[in-house]
Each structure stands twice: as structure tokens, then as C-alpha cells.
Amino acid sequence: MLAEIIRQNRLKKPLIHCITNYVSANDCANLLLGCGASAIMADDPEEVAEVTTMCDGLVLNMGIPNPRKLEALLIAGREANRLGHPAVLDPVGVGSSALRQEAARQLLEQVRFAAIRGNATEIATLVCGTVAHRGVDADEQNDATEANARQLAQETGAMVIVTGDTDMVTDGHTLHRVRNGHPMMRSVTGAGCQLSALVGAYIAANPNQPLQAALAAVCAMGLCGEIAHRRLTPPDGNASYRNYILDAIYHLTPEILEEGANYETDC
């Protein structure tokens, strides 16, 4: 079933409008081209509605925000909703400032998202409306994160993806725990931004199966992190690793994903 998600993406080649940040923009664009989609990037309020119109999906990344960019996120998000295009939210560092928290609040109020991806702290911040602090115990923390993910999905109607040691994907009811990935991915900047872009492509190509599409993206990214890690030679570090992950996305087939996806489902 995950195979079919990739197949549709390679077939339909969705054009994704990414409003992202300048740290990860180049990597997101190369990832989208590599997976078979393509990207257009615009971030000014004066043109984002028009650019959104010509695309099949929208990815809104809150990294390195400023008031003008935040206005653009809102305009593009509302336009995607009007057109029925799927929109993905990546609330990068939402707990880092009042500016980001207020931006997230407005985005969740004004835009209907097909998917939201963040780490445990970011998702907890969206749920609580205030910065979440780490729990004392890892198991308790894990339970709290699953509860947060389910709650956010139910409240927003979005597929919620939480990335961490184990990744979670939920529509508020079914919850998948994904075991793909490698700890070294934490040493590659923007790996989360890249995953959000991939979620955008897969959902745009499979609009009627958002949960499966989100799950496929999370498994694909983690699996490519594993494939890339096996390719490392002794002098390779995080810069080569970053390239190898993108290379693995480029070569990812429905069959490789079907065979390598590693997840369990909790209904």
C-alpha cells in the first residue's frame, strides 16, 4: 500500500509550493526534485496566492520567520484551502518566541492543514498554546507525546507527524509508530524540513489517502537515512551523509519502500 503512494507521486509529479527558510531551502528543493516532484519557492505576500494557484500542494515552514513571511504563510494557506490543495505545516521552533507562537495560533485558526509535522516539543507547544517542558521519565514522555499527537489531529483534522527516536503518524484515531531512521540524521540540518516537503509531495499526489501518504513519507525518509548510513565510509561525516540521504530519495522505488518500511499500528 505504501508502494502505491510512491507510484502515484512518481506518476503525477506534483508541483509543490514551498514557503520555507534559507537554511534548508536548497535541500528541500533537491529532495522534491529527487523524489519525482518539483518545487517552486516564493515567500512574498504580493505573489504567494498566485504561485499557490499553479501548484498541487503547499508546504508552510515557520523557520526564520519575520512579519512579512508570516503574512505570506497565511495568504498562501487560505488560498490553498480555497482551491482544495493540501497544505502541510512545519512549526519549526514554535516555542522559541512569541512571534512564532502567535504565528502558529493564527495559522491553525485560519488554515485547514492536511498534515502537521514537528518534534515532540513543537507538537506539545501547538497543543498547549505554550512552551512544553520535558517530562522526567522517557516512557511518560512518550505517552504524553502520543496523546498530544492524537489530540492535535482531532482538533485540526490534520494528519499529525511527530519525529523523534520513534516517529508517530496519526489521524487522531489510528496511530503508526515508525522505527525507520538513524540517530545520525540528527546531525544533518533541515532533515525535518525535508521530511515536511516530502509529506507535501506525497499527499499532493494522493489527496484521498493522507494518512497513508504521511506514513509513506515518514518511512521513506527514515529508510533513506538507513540506506545512506550503510553507504558511509570512514572519512564520511554529516556533509556526505546529507548528500547520501538525498541520493537515496532519488533512487527510492515503491519496492524498496515496501520492503524496508518498519512500523507498527495502534488502532
Interface positions with a second copy (CB under 8 A) = 21-27, 29-30, 33-34, 39-44, 46-47, 50-51, 54, 63-68, 93, 96-100, 186-190, 231, 235-240, 242-251
**Contact of 9 with 259, CB cutoff 8 Å:** no
Give min distance, CB of 36 to a second copy, in A: 9
CB closer to a second copy out of 3 and 23? 23
CB closer to a second copy out of 64 and 144? 64
CB closer to a second copy out of 28 and 123? 28
**Contact of 52 with 83, CB cutoff 8 Å:** yes
CB closer to a second copy out of 130 and 265? 130
**Structure letter (DSSP) for residue 170:** E
Give min distance, CB of 192 to a second copy, in A: 12
| The length of the chain, given as a count of residues | 267
Give min distance, CB of 216 to a second copy, in A: 19
CB closer to a second copy out of 187 and 265? 187
Residue 54 CB contacts under 8 Å (≥ 6 apart), including other chains: 15, 17, 40
CB closer to a second copy out of 63 and 181? 63
List the 87-90 sheet strands across, edge first. 38-41, 15-19, 57-61, 87-90, 115-119, 159-163, 167-170, 175-178, 263-266
| Packed helices 238-251 and 191-205: angle between N→C axes, nearest 10 degrees | 10
CB closer to a second copy out of 53 and 154? 53
Helix (H) or strand (E) holding 161: strand 159-163
Rounded Cα distance, 252 and 82, in Å: 33
Give min distance, CB of 146 to a second copy, in A: 26
DSSP lists the bridge partners of residue 53 as none
Residue 173 CB contacts under 8 Å (≥ 6 apart), including other chains: 150, 267
DSSP lists the bridge partners of residue 59 as 18, 88
Give min distance, CB of 83 to a second copy, in A: 15
Give min distance, CB of 151 to a second copy, in A: 26
Residue 41 C-alpha cell reads as 519557492
Give min distance, CB of 147 to a second copy, in A: 25
Give min distance, CB of 73 to a second copy, in A: 14
**Contact of 177 with 167, CB cutoff 8 Å:** yes
CB closer to a second copy out of 43 and 167? 43
